[in-house]
Amino acid sequence: MDSKVEEFHDQGFVCLEGAVDVSLIEKLRVQTMGNYEECMSIIKERELEFGIGIKHGFKEVVQRHTARFEMTHRMEELDCSFMDDEDSPIRQTVRGILGDDCIVANKSAVVSLAGASGQSWHSDGPHMSSTTHLPAHVLNVFIPLVPMTKALGATEFRPKVRTLFAATPPSFQP
């Protein structure tokens, strides 16, 4: 794992192919899509206004772009044991980057439907400084739930690029 930690520090990201069992990925995909359908049903049933952007979304689900949503709804119910298993390649790499005391602070799923528009380049979290490069204090761990191909609009990364972005939406929970 040391080489993966070095790769992260050099490039700003690292890929760990095969780090999660394919059968678990399929289970996560089915659960995630069920949770997404439940979110959309709640919004429709309650006749809530819902649009693109954090200001027009909810804590549980935000529409990021046309046909692209980020969802935290029922994420605590998903089997993310690969993040807790001390021997997993993901956990070992994350600990190598952030240290032994790192924790999972947030879980969300991105649901990108057919017809989703491309996203502009962005950072998924704020940096501690906009002027000085500092060591990583948080990480995003992406687990693709479908094959990553150009035809499906695979996630892209820009090596060694640092940008800024942060925001917090309201909730639709009572």
Tell me what pLDDT residue 173 has.
55
pTM for this model (two decimals): 0.79
Residue 136: pLDDT band with limits 50, 70, 90:
confident
Residue 172: pLDDT band with limits 50, 70, 90:
low
Residue 150: pLDDT band with limits 50, 70, 90:
confident
Tell me what pLDDT residue 62 has.
95
Tell me what pLDDT residue 165 has.
44
Tell me what pLDDT residue 171 has.
55
Q: pLDDT (tens digit, 9 = 90+) per residue, 57-102?
A: 999 999 998 999 999 999 999 988 888 788 899 999 999 999 999 8
Tell me what pLDDT residue 135 has.
87
Tell me what pLDDT residue 7 has.
92
Q: pLDDT (tens digit, 9 = 90+) per residue, 30-53?
A: 999 999 999 999 999 999 998 999
Q: Percent of the chain beyond pLDDT 70?
A: 91
153 Rama class: left (phi>0) / alpha (psi -120 to 50) / beta: left
Mean pLDDT over the full length of the chain: 86
Tell me what pLDDT residue 170 has.
53
Residue 159: pLDDT band with limits 50, 70, 90:
confident
